[in-house]
Amino acid sequence: MTLSTLIISNLRFKPLTAIFNVLLLAMGIAMILTLSHLDRQLSGRMTKDLKGIDLVVSGKGSPLQIILSTLFHLDIPTGNIPAEEATTLAKNTLIKSVIPMALGDNFQGFRIIGTTNAYIDHYGGKFAQGHAAINSMEAVLGSEAARVSGAHIGDKIVGAHGLVNSDDLHTDFPYTVTGILTPTGTVLDRVVITPVASVWHVHEHPDADDPEDVIYKQEHPENELTALLVTYKSPLAAAQLPRLINKNSSMQAASPAFEVARLTRLMGTGSELLSAFGVILIGFAAFGFFVTLNTAINDRLHDIALMRVLGATRQTIFGLIVSEAMLLGGLGSILGSVLALAFQAGAAWYVETIYHMTLPPTGISAQDIWIILLALVLSLLSAILPAIRAYRLIIPRTLSRLS
Amino acid sequence: MLTIRNLQAGYHDHIVVNLPDLTLQSGQTCLIKGLSGSGKTTLLQTLAGLLRPLKGCVLLGGQDLHQMTESQRDRVRGASIGIVFQTLNLIKSLSVIENILLGAYLSGQVQDLDLAHTLMEKLGIADLKTRQATDISQGQAQRVAIARALMTSPSLLLADEPTSSLDDHACAQTLTLLRSLCQDSGTILIISSHDNRIRDSFDQTIHLGATA
């Protein structure tokens, strides 16, 4: 006979309400922990994908769309910019370096980016096998693109027109794989890198089946780029360059930091709402503990009186009730954390299988510990009032009323 | 030794029982007889240190129960006073053996499993050991309560109407067991009852009149 025998046998005697309350608490904790995981992942990835890029210059259109399409490869580009105009801009004294980017095709859903080796260097890419694509129609695969497609060095791969997987294959223009990159945890893992010349070569002649493409080619006979990824020379550039580009050219400048802040603000509202819902769930669970314990005290007046008769002090009884709530709170917290970890693992697997993106589990952060502590404190508080009732129980009166 | 001096027991200023003087040596027995409402339970609760007397004192082994702090009294009650009720003796969520060990645990004493087994053997409930408290009969529950009360080798055992819900055979058997077990361990036995079937000889018998 120990304190735990006493607590556990009591919980086992009426298990349903206990289970319900533990589940409620666990769901609240799991929800908040999962959101904080997604938040960490998303901001972590975004920071990595944006790192070192001060400005993106692309065709006129929505700045947010420019960032999404050129840095995260999630949306379609706003439009192209003439290569000549881009070259002129690159010479601006406020600019330290530019990375050109020509989009248009994909390989099994992975975007083919016509760019320079500076793009690979920028994201810290290292060659796992082979070497950089030097000549036109050579290609380097990001780690995910290589893993999913199963392509090897020397293989010929064929791009499809457009930015999502399609049947419209450029079979006349196969690329030769010259290198495969190591995983970087950035957008680089999910793309195919080739010299800009390759993209120009593939699209030199308009697609005869696509009248829009034919007309577009007639109107834009010169070579084009999709975007320029710009790094400033000095902070002064932030004040002057975007205005200069937006006013005096056919191009549009978008600041990644600004657009992502706007995006997270928009999404943040949703995740804050869910977090608030999670806190409410935890609050309800604590209230559930309170109701359960308080009702249980009525059912257990006899047990408590009997224990006092058998020599238990008021403090022992108080401790018993509080321990019971803390045990439920602890179980709920553990279960909630396990659920959150399971979700992280499940989400990682799902996102990798379906979207070819890595979303590694981030475990439980220091911030999450506070949520668990909050749950435990609420469990403790919920037990105080019932415990005080039990503490104050007048034994003779209880005994004579019950017998 | 239990000594009662000039005791007035009751609630608030309502006197239920007057008991001038009583002394019981270890191993002695006492029967408190009286009709329902005559204050038997009030008296037992006062002797158990659960109810503060209006006047007078209760000395157990020379210590005045009601001069102690409440936690001291809880500890003395747990260690030296065994109590058996008419009904509702057990904690339903626990098994028989857990109920028997509960008193020793709550009063912070050694949970002597050998003693528990001996007592269960003597009370004829050894085969109920692992049964749930909700699973046994009233009479069996009472024996479990007796075993639990004796687990701490108390100097005083109080039994409140221990036979009223038992049939004649069980009534006689329970009384014999209580007496012999208390005799063996030198425990003072006080039984309160209105049961006319109790005709055995007691060292002392107190008759309470109906005052309520």
B184-209 confidence digits (pLDDT tens): 889 999 999 888 888 778 888 888 87
B101 in contact with chain A, both atoms CB, cutoff 8 A: yes
Task: Read off the tokens for A90.
Answer: 């690159």
Closest in A314, A316, A396 to B106, CB measured = A316
Q: How far apart are CA B26 and CA A394, in angstroms?
A: 30
* Exposed / middle / buried, residue B209 (Cβ in 10 Å: 0-12, 13-18, 19+): exposed
Judge whether residue A139 has pLDDT over 90: yes
DSSP lists the bridge partners of residue B32 as B192, B206
Closest in A1, A315, A316 to B98, CB measured = A1
Is the CB of A1 less than 8 angstroms away from the CB of B91?
Answer: no
E strands, A172-226, in order? 175-181, 191-195, 224-225
Is the CB of A309 less than 8 angstroms away from the CB of B93?
Answer: no
Tell me: the pLDDT tens digits for B9-43? Answer: 888 878 888 888 889 998 899 999 988 888 888 89
Give SS3 for B81.
strand
Look-up: residue for tokens 């954390």?
A337
Tell me: the pLDDT tens digits for B118-138? Answer: 989 888 888 998 998 889 988
Residue A309: its chain B contacts at CB < 8 A?
48, 50, 77, 83
B18 in contact with chain A, both atoms CB, cutoff 8 A: no
Using 50, 70 and 90 to split pLDDT, how confident is the model at A193? very high
Listed range (A19-33, A272-286, B45-59) with the worst mean pLDDT: A272-286
Closest in B86, B106, B111 to A311, CB measured = B106
Is the CB of A1 less than 8 angstroms away from the CB of B75?
Answer: no
A313 in contact with chain B, both atoms CB, cutoff 8 A: yes
Look-up: residue for tokens 């506070």?
A370
Q: Report the pLDDT value the prediction gives residue B28, as an integer from 0 to 100.
A: 92
> What ipTM did this prediction achieve?
0.89
Where exactly are the structural domains of chain B?
A: 2-208
Residue B102: its chain A contacts at CB < 8 A?
1, 6, 307, 310
Q: Which residue of B has its CA nearest to A15?
A: B93
Residue B85: its chain A contacts at CB < 8 A?
399, 403
Give yes or no for a contact between A130 and A177, defined as CB atoms under 8 angstroms apart: yes
Q: Report the pLDDT value the prediction gives residue B211, as an integer from 0 to 100.
A: 47
A99 in contact with chain B, both atoms CB, cutoff 8 A: no
Determine phi and psi for B56, rounding to 5 degrees: 80, -175
| Closest alpha carbon to A289 in A373, A382, A381 | A382
Tell me: the pLDDT tens digits for B29-84? Answer: 999 998 888 888 889 999 999 888 888 999 998 889 889 998 888 888 988 999 99
Q: Which residue of B has its CA nearest to A316?
A: B106
Is the CB of A309 less than 8 angstroms away from the CB of B77?
Answer: yes
Judge whether residue B212 has pLDDT over 50: no
Closest in A1, A312, A403 to B74, CB measured = A312
Tell whether pTM > 0.80. no
What average pLDDT does this structure show over A212-236?
Answer: 80
Give SS3 for B203.
coil
Q: Write the CB contacts of A69 (distance below 8 Å, at least 6 apart in sequence).
A: A58, A75, A76, A77, A78, A103, A226, A227
Tell me: the pLDDT tens digits for B138-193? Answer: 888 888 999 999 998 899 999 988 888 778 888 888 888 889 989 888 999 999 98
A394 in contact with chain B, both atoms CB, cutoff 8 A: no
Closest in B41, B93, B111 to A13, CB measured = B93
* Exposed / middle / buried, residue B92 (Cβ in 10 Å: 0-12, 13-18, 19+): middle
Listed range (A197-201, A281-285, A345-349, B193-197) with the worst mean pLDDT: A281-285
Q: Report the pLDDT value the prediction gives residue A207, as an integer from 0 to 100.
A: 67
CA distance B13 to chain A (A): 15
Q: Report the pLDDT value the prediction gives residue A393, as an integer from 0 to 100.
A: 84
Is the CB of A403 less than 8 angstroms away from the CB of B74?
Answer: no
Q: Write the CB contacts of A142 (distance below 8 Å, at least 6 apart in sequence).
A: A110, A125, A181, A188, A189, A190, A191, A192, A193
Work out the mean pLDDT of chain A and round it to a whole number: 85
Q: How far apart are CA A299 and CA A385, in angstroms?
A: 16
Q: Which residue of A has its CA nearest to B74?
A: A311
Is the CB of B93 less than 8 angstroms away from the CB of A10?
Answer: yes
Residue A303: its chain B contacts at CB < 8 A?
91-93
A402 in contact with chain B, both atoms CB, cutoff 8 A: yes
Q: Write the CB contacts of A44 (distance below 8 Å, at least 6 apart in sequence).
A: A362
Residue B75: its chain A contacts at CB < 8 A?
311, 313
Domain covering B2-208 assigned CATH 3.40.50.300 in the classification:
yes
Look-up: residue for tokens 């990835």?
A45
Residue A314: its chain B contacts at CB < 8 A?
70-71, 74
Closest in A5, A10, A403 to B85, CB measured = A403
Q: Report the pLDDT value the prediction gives residue A401, as an integer from 0 to 100.
A: 72
Task: Write out residues 12-51 of A within 8 Å (CB-CB) of B.
Answer: 12-13
Q: How far apart are CA A255 and CA A54, in angstroms?
A: 6
Helices (H) and strands (E) in chain A, counts: 14, 13
A303 in contact with chain B, both atoms CB, cutoff 8 A: yes
- Which of A3, A17, A313, A314 to mutate to test binding with chain B, by most B CBs within 10 Å of its CB? A313
B164 in contact with chain A, both atoms CB, cutoff 8 A: no
B16 in contact with chain A, both atoms CB, cutoff 8 A: no
Task: Read off the tokens for A13.
Answer: 């005697």
Give SS3 for A127.
strand
CA distance A4 to chain B (A): 12
Is the CB of A314 less than 8 angstroms away from the CB of B148?
Answer: no
B112 in contact with chain A, both atoms CB, cutoff 8 A: no
